[in-house]
Structure 1
């Protein structure tokens, strides 16, 4: 018997939005994008700790050390510069 096993078709990457957040409570969170590995560059240096970004306004939010806010979430600081988002 020669049954051909179907090859999985690669899922196309959804377009990266102008603004994206890793927080699922945020209105800028898009779960389909996080099914793939997303990379962020700030001023031509790749950052691995980005919590939110906006390409058009040129900023990223990263945790400020181990500091937590009163709800237990990391305290975020905004860094400005040239922001690029890409799939790895």
Structure 2
């Protein structure tokens, strides 16, 4: 069984935060890559392919609960398995 057949289909909307309703633990068992506007990004925390946005941390800034402050960037989003 190859890794491509074992990997589940990538969802349209995915979050790396386990508290999010868009988190899918089965997908994170495999190595995922995100290409945003033609360049691969390694800091993406959440993405939506159909709406064309990604959420990335805003530097070292954290909110009062200690979670990183996210900014939404709009553009072309591609998700793939490495």
Runs of 4 or more consecutive aligned structure 1 residues displaced over 6 Å after TM superposition: none
The TM-score normalised by the length of structure 1 is: 0.88
Q: 1:46 aligned to 2:47?
A: no
Tell me the C-alpha RMSD between the 2 structures: 0.9
Q: How many residues align?
A: 80
Q: Output the CA distance in 2 between the equivalents of 1:70 and 1:58.
A: 29
Structure with the higher fraction of residues in helix conformation = 2
Unaligned ranges ≥5, structure 2: none
The TM-score normalised by the length of structure 2 is: 0.94
Secondary structure of 1:34's counterpart equals: helix
Q: Output the CA distance in 2 between the equivalents of 1:43 and 1:61.
A: 14
1:19-38 correspondence to structure 2 within 5 Å: 19-38=13-32
Task: Report which of the two structures shows the higher radius of gyration computed on alpha carbons.
Answer: 1
Question: 1:83 is matched with which residue: 73, 77, 81?
Answer: 77
Question: 1:59 is matched with which residue: 39, 53, 57?
Answer: 53
